[in-house]
Structure 1
Amino acid sequence: MARPSPDRLNLLATGASVSVALILVAAKLWAFGTTGSVSVAASLADSGLDLMVSLGGLAAVRYAQRPPDDDHAFGHSSAEDLAALGQSAFILVSAGAIAAVALGRLFADTETPIANAGGGIAVMILSVALTAALVAFQTWVARETGNRVVLADRLHYLGDLVPNLGALAALAAAAQFGLYALDSVIALGAAAMLAIGALRIGVGAWNALMDRAAPTHMIRGIETLAEDWPGIDGFHDLKTRTAGSRVFVNLHVEIRGDLPLTEAHDIGAALRRAIVDRYPNADVIIHKDPVRTKKAPDNAGA
């Protein structure tokens, strides 16, 4: 049997993520309806977010396999950032609603009992098991393909294990010891985690939409490659910008002017391949300039 291609593996990983999220949303809806637990509600909101993020990841992977078109010469990756802003707003509203209900129950004169805790416990055990299995599969795929979308989704589901385990603990404490207040406390912690995650997603998406430069370590890595590359006597005007999961890189390198055009081209092409090998999410354009004693003005020809 032939080994699946990297594109196929990435689609399988994101498809599995969507499937797991759908199962968990359905199971937790039932669990919340039968238990009334706000910690289960927090976990349900998190799974709802997972479903949106997973659908976005699946769409992003499929989109990434399409070539740029006439209207989008640099591709469509900024759509990921627009979707992320909407997701972050949804998460913040959900976190606020969960926190409000949890605080109301925590400071109420009478405790709110949790019904059918056994059924809720069974659902949360299912949630932990499915999430752990998905993380293991995504870890393998990310190691095989290096896909950033799969790797980010894996990290997100790793974080989901915490509220799932918290809801499981709250249900067990209510069933065994009648500690109903613990449900609200854990729900508040889960709401805080959701809010922090939403702000991080929103800030990252906003920065990308504003053409924020690549991370410093990536810029320095590209500079190091260019500085040491055979046949290149210098470089200037290194510019980067992020868009979704892509990083666009523009670099001017200085090559001896008396070299044959084919040889000069090969030097630049080899450097470009080295940058893409190190940073697979990079889209690199290299301009080749003859060695000059002083920098050309910004509006000079390439």
Structure 2
Amino acid sequence: MGRKAAQHSLNLSAGLASTAVAMVLVALKLWAVGQTGSLSIAASATDSAMDLLISLGGLFAILYAARPADEDHHFGHTSVEDLTALGQSLFILAAAGAIGWMAGLRLMSNAPAPLAAETTGIVVMVVSAVLTGALVLWQRWVTARTGNRVVAADSLHYMGDLLPTLGAIMALAVSARFGVNKIDSIVALIAASIMVFGALKIGRAAWDALMDRAADQATVDGIAAITRGFPGVRGYHDLKTRTAGSRIFVHLHVELDGAQSLSAAHAISAGLKRAILEAYPDADIIIHQDVARD
């Protein structure tokens, strides 16, 4: 199995694991909401439902983005990752708004709804935390070997889910021990705030990529440094980059000795392209050859 095929298999396994865990968590938490009436668990269940959408979108993106370039998509299909992420961010914002609204109404109520079956809720949320932690460990293992940004982002998102889950456990424990119910709504508000922050971050990154935003400055500087120090390259100009999903597209003009043969000039450009790809494997590089001005 080739390197790209092996990486795709690992990325696909992470996407399938993420989807499966999200489905289990949604079912568990919805059952726990019915048993306990906990708004913090409802917030966590809603967040898990959003996770399921994100996981399904990520799985689709992994499958679709892996398709090779064709006559209709000369630069590949990686922009689907950004389109998916932008839609997901809107879903998350809507869900966070609904949770925040319900939590605010319950906090302002003189008689907030009591919680029930707190022990059952705690057990469900502990199981959720364990499953989420195991998924994050697997996603990080995959990311370390493939560098896939979709898997890395999904892992970061699930790491953020651990806080609302642990908060729901705390709310249920305090309710069971001291009969304090308002902390459930406070935890729900915190969870909603985290969801809003995450949605805005995901949406902004997706929007920037769809608008052909340049790669980060560290990447641009790294490509420039490789080009400056490459044998046979006398100079360069018009270094332009853009991102699409997990891909970085690089356009670069290099200045070469005009007296050398075309074969020699081509060999320099090909060598430079290989050097950039070694540092940035997800790059798609086009190098133009210009005659250096002495």
Pair in the same fold by TM > 0.5: yes
Deviations 1:134-160 (A, max 9, x none): 111111111122222222211111111
Partner of 1:50: 51
How far apart, in 1, do the equivalents of 2:213 and 2:86 lie?
Answer: 15
Task: Give matches, 1:134-213, under 5 Å.
Answer: 134-213=135-214
Runs of 4+ residues over 6 Å off in structure 1 = none
Residue aligning to 2:260: 259
Amino acid at match of 1:44: A
SS in 1 for 2:70: coil
Residue type of the partner of 2:247? Answer: R
- 1:297 corresponding residue in structure 2: none
Q: For the Cα contact (< 8 Å) 2:148–2:246, is it kept in 1?
A: no
**Structure 2 residue matching 1:5: 3-state secondary structure:** helix
SS in 1 for 2:110: coil
Any stretches of 5+ residues in structure 1 without a counterpart? 294-302
Match of 1:286 in 2: 287
Alignment partner, residue 234 of structure 1: 235
Contact 2:93–2:195 (Cα < 8 Å) also in 1: yes
- The corresponding residue for 1:299 is none
Aligned-pair identity in percent equals 56
1:141 aligned partner, one-letter code: V
Asked whether the equivalents of residues 211 and 242 of structure 1 are also in contact (C-alpha less than 8 Å), the reply is: yes
| Partner Cα distance (2:18, 2:271) in 1 | 37
Give the SS at the match of 2:242. Answer: strand
What does 1:21-32 correspond to in 2, within 5 Å?
21-32=22-33
Distance in 2 between the 1:58 and 1:137 partners?
15
Cα distance in 2 between the residues matched to 1:228 and 1:263:
17
Contact 1:148–1:281, Cα closer than 8 Å, also in 2: no
**Counterpart in 2 of 1:77?**
78
TM-score, normalized by length of structure 2? 0.95
Higher deviation after alignment, 51-60 or 23-32: 51-60
Q: Which residue of 2 aligns with 1:244?
A: 245
Q: Find out whether 1:275 has 2:284 as its counterpart.
A: no
Partners of 1:167 and 1:186 within 8 A in 2: yes
Q: Secondary structure of the equivalent of 1:153?
A: helix
Return the offset for 1:236.
Answer: 0.6
**1:210-264: CA deviations, max 9, x gaps?**
1111111111111111111111111111111112222211111111122222222
- Structure 2 partner of 1:225: 226
Unaligned runs of 5+ in 2: none
Q: Counterpart of 2:68 in 1: which secondary structure?
A: coil
- Summarize deviations over 1:69-98 as a string: whole Å, max 9, x none: 101111122222222222111111111110
